């Protein structure tokens, strides 16, 4: 799966141009592996543009419940609008909005209860990376948010080292591959039903480095920020995925 995280970018005109370009460059067969998370305000525009395709349109965040929570959208609201997935626990949410593992766990629970996919984002800081504490950090992010839940393929993990986001720096794909294997093991032992999830890599993925990630066994796709804003580049990434994963 290749997911575009548009963050707080886009406008109706740019999104329309993006759709036209992207759609003309990508084979329809691979579209069921593509997810786009625009801002909430553009969710329906993207739903409409891609309505005749299998592209999944999702949201970048969700609240734990509905009602008197100004500014929020709930999982129930999103599921009524046929939302395919929600990112949960992105490092920018953890950092700017003080989201902790407990809250993130509640968000995941709410999304899964409403029957759409949750993409749980985890990752270490540069300092933790340098101190060799990456696995310790990832393990606590996983166990503190999804322990004992009954999980199925609706839970996807995105490994996004914080220092790789928007920096142009990426870890060695071989190292990412072994971290993904570790993540799959941790999720398997943390969940009630020993479920092995798909794991996406995120952090400065572009059309030059995508192949090095996609040809690794445990890297099941990518979560793409900056490079997903350019339809040509994102289409190249999706086409690389299609070629290497033989879709």
Binding site for ligand 13P (CB under 6 A): 5, 90, 160, 165-166, 202-205, 223-227
Provide, rounded to whole angstroms, the least separation between the CB of residue 165 and ligand 13P: 4
| Nearest CB to ligand 13P, comparing residues 85 and 191 | 85
Integer-rounded Cα radius of gyration of the chain: 17
Nearer Cβ to ligand 13P (21/209):
209
**Closest residue to bound ligand 13P by CB:** 225
Catalytic hit among 92, 99, 160, 212: 160
Smallest separation (angstroms) from ligand 13P to the CB of 199:
14
Shortest reach from residue 194's CB to ligand 13P, in Å: 28
Catalytic residue, candidates 90, 92, 124, 180:
90
Instruction: Please indicate whether residue 160 is annotated as part of the active site.
Output: yes
DSSP for the chain, please give it: -EEEE-TT---HHHHHHHHHHHHHHS-GGGGGGEEEE--GGGHHHHHHHTTTS--EE-BS--BS--SS-TT--BHHHHHHTT--EEEES-HHHHHHS---HHHHHHHHHHHHHTTSEEEEEE---HHHHHTT-HHHHHHHHHHHHHTT----TTEEEEE--GGGTTTS----HHHHHHHHHHHHHHHHHHSTT----EEEEESS--TTTHHHHHTSTT---EEESGGGGSHHHHHHHHHHHHHHTT-
Residues sharing a CB contact under 8 Å with residue 17, sequence separation 6 or more, in sequence order: 231
- Tell the smallest beta-carbon distance from residue 88 to ligand 13P (Å): 11
Q: Cβ closer to ligand 13P: 128 or 191?
A: 128
Closer residue to ligand 13P, CB minimum distance, 116 or 191: 116
Q: Is 69 exposed, middle or buried (0-12, 13-18, 19+ CB in 10 A)?
A: exposed
For ligand 13P, the closer of residues 105 and 203 by Cβ is: 203
Q: How far is the CB of 37 from ligand 13P (least distance, A)?
A: 8
Active-site amino acid positions:
90, 160
């Amino acid at each position: 799966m290749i997911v575009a995280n548009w963050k707080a970018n886009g406008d109706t005109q740019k999104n329309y141009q993006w759709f036209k370009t992207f759609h003309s460059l990508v084979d329809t067969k691979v579209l069921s592996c593509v997810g786009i998370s625009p801002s909430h305000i553009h969710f329906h525009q993207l739903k409409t543009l891609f309505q005749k395709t299998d592209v999944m349109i999702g949201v970048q965040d969700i609240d734990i419940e509905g009602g008197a929570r100004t500014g929020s959208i709930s999982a129930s609201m999103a599921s009524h609008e046929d939302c395919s997935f929600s990112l949960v626990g992105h490092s920018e949410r953890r950092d700017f909005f003080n989201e902790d593992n407990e809250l993130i766990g509640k968000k995941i629970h709410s999304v899964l209860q409403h029957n759409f996919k949750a993409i749980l984002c985890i990752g270490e800081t540069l300092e933790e990376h340098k101190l060799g504490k990456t696995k310790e950090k990832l393990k606590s992010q996983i166990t503190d948010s999804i322990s004992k839940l009954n999980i199925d393929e609706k839970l996807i993990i995105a490994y996004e080292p914080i220092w790789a986001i928007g920096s142009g720096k990426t870890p060695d794909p071989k190292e990412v591959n072994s971290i993904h294997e570790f993540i799959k093991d941790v999720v398997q032992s943390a969940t009630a039903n020993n479920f092995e999830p798909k794991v996406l890599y995120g952090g400065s993925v572009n059309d030059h480095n995508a192949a090095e990630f996609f040809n690794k066994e445990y890297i099941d796709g990518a979560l793409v920020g900056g490079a997903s804003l350019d339809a040509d580049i994102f289409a190249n990434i999706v086409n690389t995925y299609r070629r290497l994963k033989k879709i």
